[in-house]
Structures are given as C-alpha cells and as structure tokens.
C-alpha cells in the first residue's frame, strides 16, 4: 500500500473520532509489514486524562490482535468544524512517539503526517524521537 492510500485510510479512521471536548478529530492508519491496516481515532473522556490518541488506539488495536511487525503509520487531524489546511499536518504527540518506540525499528518505521493524499511528509521515528529510550535499554 502506498502512502497516499494509507492517508486515505487515516481519513476513514477519523470519521469515528470521539472529540466532544477539544473538537479536534484525529485519524491514524497503521500498516503492518505484511500489508494489513489497523485504523484508530482519538477517544476523549470527560475526565480528560483517560483520553486516548488516534495513534495509540491503532497501535493498541493491532498489538492486542497479535501484530508486532509494523512498517508505517499515517496521521491526519483537524478541527471538526473546519476544512483541513493543506499545508498544516497533525504531528504525533510525545506519548504516541514513545509507544511506537516500543514496537518498531526507529530507523525504518515511517510516520506520514498529512492533510490529504496529495499533501504529506514522511519521517522515520528516529527523526521524530531522536536519542530515545527503548526496550533494549532494559532487555539488553
Ligand atoms: N490527539 C491525537 O489523537 N493524536 C496526537 O498525536 C495529538 C493529539 C488528540 C488527543 C485529543 O483528543 C485531541 O487530539 C486534542 O489534543
């Protein structure tokens, strides 16, 4: 699946975003190395802290179904009452970057931030989370 297709999947994921407090809706599409896509949306909570980001929803869905090998994630986000600005991309928060770090190779895993299938930018996790702490620091 190419990056433009993965961005479209992220937009589909965003349709189910539950964001009554921030009104900022996010969708993520996580691609496994064998080509499966897991979608995730942000899920807010009236107590705020339990809110889950779209990226983590997608990652936890996949891991909870036995997936451990990931190639890429695409992320889209914007206010629910606005048209997305083609030049503004939703970037993953620090917590989500660290959750990705647990399961992927930072040097090769690709994070695509996008506004639509024609406007996106791709980084490795290493670029977005340099000098990171990860499983090998504890497990050797
Ligand atoms: N959000 C995400 O879903 N992903 C991110 O990486 C950044 C923020 C969500 C959380 C919250 O529901 C809303 O965006 C505003 O912070």
Of all protein residues, the one whose alpha carbon is nearest to atom 2 of ligand 1 is 53
- Pick the atom of ligand 1 nearest to 92's CA: 6
- Please give the sequence-ordered ranges of beta strands (E in DSSP) within 10-131, or none if there are none: 24-32, 37-41, 70-79, 110-116, 119-124
Residue 138 confidence class, pLDDT cut points 50, 70, 90: very high
Cα 56 to averaged position of ligand 1 atoms, centre (Å):
10
9-34 mean pLDDT: 98
Cα 85 to averaged position of ligand 1 atoms, centre (Å):
17
CA distance 125 to 87: 21
- Pick the atom of ligand 1 nearest to 22's CA: 15
* pLDDT one-digit tens code per residue, 44-83: 999 999 999 999 999 999 999 999 999 999 999 999 988 8
* pLDDT one-digit tens code per residue, 99-126: 999 999 999 999 999 999 999 999 999 9
Cα 137 to averaged position of ligand 1 atoms, centre (Å):
28
Q: How far is CA 105 from the centre of its chain?
A: 15
Of all protein residues, the one whose alpha carbon is nearest to atom 7 of ligand 1 is 93
CB 19 within 8 A of CB 77: no
Residues near ligand 1 (Cβ within 6 A): 19, 22, 24, 26, 42, 44, 51, 53-55, 92-93, 96
Specify the pLDDT at position 72.
Answer: 98
Cα 54 to averaged position of ligand 1 atoms, centre (Å):
7
pTM for the predicted model, two decimal places: 0.97
2-12 mean pLDDT: 97
Specify the pLDDT at position 83.
Answer: 84
Average model confidence (pLDDT) for the chain?
97
Specify the pLDDT at position 82.
Answer: 87
């Amino acid at each position: 699946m190419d990056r433009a297709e993965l961005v479209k999947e992220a937009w589909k994921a965003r349709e189910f975003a539950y964001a009554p407090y921030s009104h900022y809706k996010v969708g993520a599409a996580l691609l496994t190395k064998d080509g499966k896509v897991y979608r995730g949306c942000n899920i807010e909570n009236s107590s705020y802290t339990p809110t889950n980001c779209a990226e983590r929803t997608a990652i936890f869905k996949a891991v909870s179904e036995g997936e451990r090998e990931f190639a890429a994630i695409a992320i889209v986000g914007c206010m629910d009452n606005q048209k997305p600005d083609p030049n503004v991309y939703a970037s993953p928060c620090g917590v989500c970057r660290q959750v990705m770090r647990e399961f992927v190779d930072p040097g090769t895993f690709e994070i695509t931030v996008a506004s639509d299938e024609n406007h996106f930018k791709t980084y490795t996790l290493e670029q977005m989370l340099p000098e990171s702490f990860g499983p090998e620091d504890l497990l050797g």
